[in-house]
Amino acid sequence: MTIKEIIIRYSKELEEISPTPRLDVETLLQKVLEVDRLYILLNLEKSLSEDEEKLFSKLINERLNNRPIAYIVGNREFMGLDFYVQEGVLIPRPDTEVLVEEIIELGKNKGPINILDIGTGSGAITVSLAKYLDNAKITSVDISDIALEIGKKNAESNNVKDRITFIKSDLFTNIDDNMRFDIIVSNPPYIKREVIETLDKQVKDFEPYNALEGGIDGLDFYRAITIQSKKYLNNDGILAYEVGHDQSEEVSKLMESDGYTNIYTRKDLQQIDRVVIGSVL
């Protein structure tokens, strides 16, 4: 089959499970042929070899069985950087870029700053902040060994490992009591427990449950982090969260009740309040 024939046939088959069927097919072809997307677009009449067709057939069947494209090809772009991903870590989302961009804006043009990222995951937040804030030192914590391993891998591939310290920790458990930070940032698990089973199969069947579920009301981690964070923040320190689509008001109230001030939100590309930020005196 030619590249064009493959794109036409399998884009149609993917329509029911993917919002970007043609892009998915092209991405798998890039993986099989080890080329960039421009090559695919300029060589639509090229035929795949027998071995290439076998490999493509294997990958497209995985996709048709709802396995996320990022896990199949092993990477995801975030903040203009390339991140290795695999089962065991949450796939970076574009919505999270709003949080990272806001932290960059708050941290630039300042002296040396210390940042704590709670929930390493793939390292998307940690590595992006280290990459775009030359004045920052990042401490990144996660309870998952897989997340820490992948975070370190992505820090190395993006040439920022010298400015990141990775620590295995359940929230603040293994953070030294004497450590202080200018910014604490987190994209914690925030999906309500009862909602998990209603999620798309690509999420609930493949992405790590512990990175999704935030308790009965989805706010467990916000409560724990907000209460403990003041102990670790410098004067005028900042606490910054990504939140669920309907959680900004509740998280803002949590922060306010724990003494945070100057609380504000930032919207994502869908104009949903996706980021909540506050300061501690």
Q: 187 a known binding residue?
A: yes
145 assigned to a ligand binding site: no
With b meaning 16 or more CB within 10 Å and e meaning fewer, what string describes 249-277? ebbbebbeebebeebebbebeeeebbbbb
Return the bridge partners of 191, or none.
Answer: 213
Q: Is 190 annotated as a binding residue?
A: yes
257 is in an annotated binding site: no
Is 84 within any annotated ligand binding site? no
What is the phi/psi pair of residue 94, to 5°? -60, -35
DSSP state of 46: P
188 is in an annotated binding site: yes
User: 3-state secondary structure string, 166-222?
Assistant: EEECCCCCCCCCCCCEEEEEECCCCECHHHHHHCCHHHHCCCCHHHCECCCCCCHHH
261 is in an annotated binding site: no
Buried b (16+ CB within 10 A) or exposed e, 34-64: eeeeeebeeeeeeebeeebeebbeebbeebe
Query: Does 122 carry a binding-site annotation?
Result: yes
**Among 121, 81, 94, 110, CA closest to 238:** 110
What span, in angstroms and rounded, lies between the C-alpha atoms of 139 and 203? 28
Kindly give, in sequence order, each residue whose CB lies less than 8 Å from that of residue 68, ignoring residues fewer than 6 positions away.
91, 202, 203, 206, 207
Residue corresponding to tokens 């820490």: 148
- Residue 173 annotated in ligand binding: no
75 is in an annotated binding site: no
List, as residue ranges, the binding site for S-adenosyl-L-methionine: 119-123, 142, 187
- Could you list the residues known to form a binding site, using ranges: 119-123, 142, 187-190
Binding residues for substrate: 187-190
